[in-house]
Structure 1
Amino acid sequence: MGFLKLVGGVVTLLLLAALGMRLRYGGGEPYPDVSGMPLLPDSALEVAAVSQEPVGNVAASSTGRLFFTIHPESRPEGAKLMEWVDGKPVPFPALALQAKLLETPLGITIDRRDWLWVIDHGNHGMGMPRLLAFELATGHVAHEFAFPPDVAPPGSFLQDLRVDAKGETVFIADVAFWRKSPGLVVYDVTAKRARRVLDGHASVLPRDYIIRNPIKDMVFFGGLAALKAGVDGIAVDPADEWVWFAAMNHDTMHRVRTADLRDASLSAAELEKRVQAVGRKPLNDGLSADAEGNVLITDVEHGAVLRMSPDGRLETLVKSPRIRWADALSHGPDGWLYVADSAIPHQMLQSKAHIAANAPYFIYRFKPGIAGVAGM
């Protein structure tokens, strides 16, 4: 009888744990398709780089150098930050320096002085969340900052970033999937000081939508958990006036003035009042602002890239079954827009054998052209 009671107790605990997980991480409703007919044909999308490991984020320099991370969810064992050189990926910076500094890098961006900024979430805040900048000319470390626990606590996921035009402020998105408390981080480069803002605000929280990717619906453990991510993509317009941001599982794009984010004297309530809802969007990952003040948006359900005008008008630029999960975006020279296809359904919670079997992984590029005009 004692053994049966023990078994019964274990089963009860497991059922309660499953119920708790389902209530906290599961459920959700389908989201309507807000994409339309693409302005550009599938042939406008060309392969820019190929990787045998899943791609994370991408960054193109003003001279056309192309960098990308290996997605940390794929548990890479070698180099985690690459440059595409002569038709193959090469570690950048040197592998020995990567081994010393990088744990789980994902988001990357290049500023106007040719520094490659890298955000490393430190294994969801369980290790050392870190911000790094490397000089493109030398590969040397130009800047380094370790986030304290009050900014990047356990369960945080610092995963996308943008730098203002002067290189003085870095804006970072914390999706905080496991912690369920997403927000933005504002980092003062000169003072080497970081602070959290909009922590848990409605604009950064996910809504109860299920991501239906063609490969699979993004639910796990028999439906006990679903990928419902908070603020993910982030972009700064060229005039440095607005920071645009979007929670992946949310129906609305938001923006807030960079001056308000920099103003540490504003209370949380005052800052929240200054957040603006711009327009309806797809369930998205990466964002990138163009020279006309529009924001480019990836659509993770339909292999698409959309463009939103400052007044919230949407148009679909390209849509392709080749894109498994449209992730990060980066504007490069000569009008090219680079799209990292991170193929999340083929790597998230998948075995290394499954990941290898679904290789290779791609970065694509196309020329968006002028708003409302295809093929320019």
Structure 2
Amino acid sequence: MKLFLLRLLLGLAVLMATLTIVLHLRYGGGEPYPDLSGTPLFDEGTIEVVVTSDEPIGNLAVSEDGRVFYTIHPESRPSGAKLLECVDGAPKPFPSEEAQAQFETPLGVAIDRQNRLWTIDHGNHGTGHAQLLAFDLGTGGIVHEHVFDSSVAQLGSFLQDLQVDSAGKQLFIADVSFWRKNPGLIVYDVERDRARRVLDSDASVSAQDWLIRNPTKDMTFFGGLVVLKPGVDGIAISRDDAWIYYGAMAHDTMYRIKVADLLDDSLSDGALAARVQALGPKPLNDGLSTDLDGNLLITDVEHGAVIRMTPKGELTTLVRSDKIRWADALSYGPDGWLYVADSAIPEQMLKSKTHIRAKAPYYIFRFKPGIAGVPGQ
């Protein structure tokens, strides 16, 4: 019996050591990233609080008439409404309390020029049903829905950000693929009800070996065995529908590719990858947006900042504030306002509900960057 127990303990020790090595090799490591932010163009006093929430914010979209819609971040495991509208300063389930049963883990939202609110639900990392829903903002009714099959929303996928073209006919979705480690883009044709993956695990969508150092904490877990190194996260479309911009969070370069190339399903994987263009160095980013002058707006998750990148790749820090715990999603609203969802990821990811409640409230901010954009995106 003693020999059996000794062998059992030895076997368990070997198994644990093997699992530790595998976890570290697949999910660990990471080097500090240089700070690319500079002196902000606008001081901290220009930043306004728009929404105060008891639960962590996910993504947001602001309509052309100033309506503010947002999700509660699924990593915080919300128990109540998951898609909300801020009405008279208070959260209201959108489109209704009863409609919340349609959602599993909604995160990304965008408003198209047809006055529809699009939501992307990653289906709990691909273990459930990842889906697109579009709501008419006038009636609150569902006007489009699509459930992705497992060839698109793979097990371990994380479909979490989306953009829609001006005609409302093509959607572009980022799969950050935290656990599967197969990030890529998804092109969805609304009229044909057809989705396909592109640029799977291409170097431009994949994480590099960087460690995200947020003021709240370094983004490591389980004693450093697992490091948050996300693939493609932010995605944006140029205002002329010509380009898709994207950046893997743990990556040093921003990229773009022509929309026409993404829509050309005759291109091989290699031919499509060859058409990706590098724009220049970027911060470790989450959400993106574009303005009417062709600039790219980039969040900086390490420094509570929003940075503008010109078409030539030049960077200007617009705002930087300790109040912003994790600059997440961006959305333009009317009158030149740019809205910033602060998801406070370090305070919610793999944290207890008690901890999450203790770190409330959570915020949506806004400021005027000096150049307008298209509301809802």
User: Normalised by the shorter chain, which TM-score bucket?
Assistant: over 0.9
Larger deviation, residues 257-266 vs 167-176: 257-266
Q: For the residues of structure 1 that align with 2:96 and 2:9, how far apart are their CA atoms?
A: 53
> Counterpart of 1:208 in structure 2: which amino acid?
D
| 1:266 correspondence with 2:278 | no
Bigger Cα displacement from structure 2, 87-96 vs 190-199: 87-96
Amino acid corresponding to residue 251 of structure 1 in structure 2:
D
Counterpart in 2 of 1:134? Answer: 135
User: Which AA in structure 2 matches 1:78?
Assistant: G
Question: What SS is found at the alignment partner of 1:261?
Answer: helix
CA distance in 1, matches of 2:90, 2:280: 40
**1:88 maps to which residue?**
90
Task: Please give the residue correspondences for 1:53-92 in structure 2 after superposition, counting only pairs within 5 Å.
Answer: 53-92=55-94
* Paired letter, 1:302: H
CA distance in 1 between counterparts of 2:100 and 2:272 reads 37
Amino acid at match of 1:162: Q
- In 2, Cα distance between the equivalents of 1:173 and 1:72? 16
TM-score (ref. length: structure 1): 0.98
Alpha-carbon distance in 1 for matches of 2:365, 2:202: 34
Structure 1: 4+ residue segments shifted above 4 A: none
AA at the equivalent of 2:236: A
Give the aligned partner of residue 370 of structure 2.
369
Q: How many residues align?
A: 370
Alpha-carbon distance in 2 for matches of 1:108, 1:170:
12
Cα deviation for residue 98 of structure 1 reads 1.6
Aligned-pair CA distance for 1:5: 1.0
Percent identity among equivalent residues?
63
- Partner letter of residue 25 of structure 2? L
For 1:358 and 1:370, locate their aligned partners in 2 and report how far apart those are by CA, in whole Å. Answer: 33
Distance in 1 (CA, whole Å) between partners of 2:274 and 2:20 is 38
Compute the displacement of 1:214 (Å): 0.2
| Residue of structure 2 equivalent to 1:225 | 226
Residue matched to 1:47: 49
CA–CA distance in structure 2, aligned partners of residues 328 and 24 of structure 1: 27
Q: Does the CA contact (< 8 Å) of 2:291 and 2:371 recur in 1?
A: no
Give the aligned residue type for 2:332: H
After superposition, the C-alpha distances for 1:316-350 in whole angstroms (9 at most, x for unaligned) are: 00000000000000000000000000000000000
Name the amino acid aligned to 2:273. Answer: E
SS at match of 1:112: coil
Contact 2:74–2:107 (CA under 8 A) maintained in structure 1: yes
1:175-324 map, 5 Å: 175-324=176-325
Deviations along 1:218-257, one digit per CA (max 9) or x if unpaired, are 0000000000000000000110010000000000000001
Structure 2 distance, partners of 1:80, 1:29, is: 35
1:9 Cα offset (Å)? 0.8
The match for 1:25 is 27
* Separation in structure 2 between the aligned mates of residue 97 and residue 81 of structure 1, nearest angstrom: 9
- Report the CA distance between 1:12 and its aligned residue: 1.2
- Give the distance between the partners of 2:5 and 2:233, measured in 1 at CA: 48
Superimposed CA distance per residue, residues 94-144 of structure 1 (whole angstroms, 9 cap, x where no aligned partner): 121121x11000000000011000000000000000011011111110100
Q: Which letter maps to 1:67?
A: F
Q: Tell me which residue corresponds to 1:8.
A: 10
Contact in 1 for aligned 2:292/2:371 (Cα 8 Å):
no
Residue number in structure 1 paired with 2:152: 151
Could you tell me how far 1:11 is from its partner in structure 2?
1.5
Tell me the SS of whatever aligns to 1:362: strand
| 3-state DSSP of counterpart to 1:348 | coil
Q: Is 1:174 aligned to residue 175 of structure 2?
A: yes
Distance 1:21 1:98 in 2: 36
Q: Which amino acid aligns with 2:289?
A: S
Separation in structure 2 between the aligned mates of residue 295 and residue 7 of structure 1, nearest angstrom? 56
* 1:15 Cα deviation after fit: 1.2
Unaligned runs of 5+ in 2: 373-377
Q: Give the match for residue 374 of structure 1.
A: none
- Matched residue, 2:336: 335
What is the CA distance between 1:370 and its match in structure 2?
3.8
User: What is the SS of the residue equivalent to 2:31?
Assistant: coil
